[in-house]
Amino acid sequence: MKKEKIPQPTIERLPIYYRSLLQMQEEGIKTVSSEDLGARIGINSAQIRKDLTYFGEFGRRGIGYEVEGLIEHIVRILGVEKERKMILVGVGHLGTALIRYKGFTTKNFHMIAAFDSDPDKIDQDVEGIRVHDLKAMEEMVQKEEVDVGVITVPAADAQRVVDALVEAGIKGILNFAPTQVVVPQHVQLRDVDLGVEILRLSYHLTNS
């Protein structure tokens, strides 16, 4: 697998294929054509066939793709079979909702602790996850070899928290703070800004 050849949009679509295939598996569907998969997710079938060939997956004419086989393949590509440790920083409303969110665990991302600087929150439990003093964050990231930090702090604090996590050896950041943070090239960053999402929706509402 020559990863430098896989286009970014293909990588972005892979989790969407995975999500639909898991739903099909639950429904008891054994094989799927690129047309049926495409109809479910609103992507044309030629694109799906092209995307999957990057990973060496080829459907069989008249039969399509084996759902289970394709899932196993995508699990390996996405690295879902690997257990990863995660912490959350900033136990506000969104942080609390994310601690309670089950969709991380099903993808083998395990929340092991949360951090905040508010004395009222420190040493409390949220859904079985202990909230620690922010000061203890770097030590835990190093000691537990935490993979991913979920950032739900105010914009003004985000870069400082990210720098501390990077310093402590974090490998990835999922940033919900409404600001751009900077990470060195060896650290993976994904931004989820609800404000940006609503503005994109606003554009399409305005210009349609």
Binding site for a second copy (CB under 8 A): 3, 11-12, 14-16, 18-20, 23, 40-42, 77-80, 82, 84, 93-94, 96-98, 100-101, 103-104, 106-107, 109, 147-148, 155, 171-172, 174, 178-180, 182, 186, 188, 190, 192-208
What backbone phi and psi angles, to 5 degrees, belong to 38? -60, -40
3-state SS, residue 104: coil
Contact 150, 100 (CB under 8 A): no
Q: Which is nearer to a second copy, 136 or 199 (CB)?
A: 199
Q: How far lies 105's CA from each of 88, 99, 170, in Å?
A: 14, 10, 19
Contact 34, 61 (CB under 8 A): no
Instruction: Please state the closest distance from residue 139 (CB atom) to a second copy, in A.
Output: 22
Q: Which is nearer to a second copy, 79 or 169 (CB)?
A: 79
Q: Which is nearer to a second copy, 61 or 107 (CB)?
A: 107
Instruction: Please state the closest distance from residue 181 (CB atom) to a second copy, in A.
Output: 10
Q: Bridge partners of 115? A: 89, 132
Contact 176, 152 (CB under 8 A): yes
Instruction: Please state the closest distance from residue 138 (CB atom) to a second copy, in A.
Output: 20
For residue 77, give both structure tokens: 């590509």
Instruction: Please state the closest distance from residue 65 (CB atom) to a second copy, in A.
Output: 17
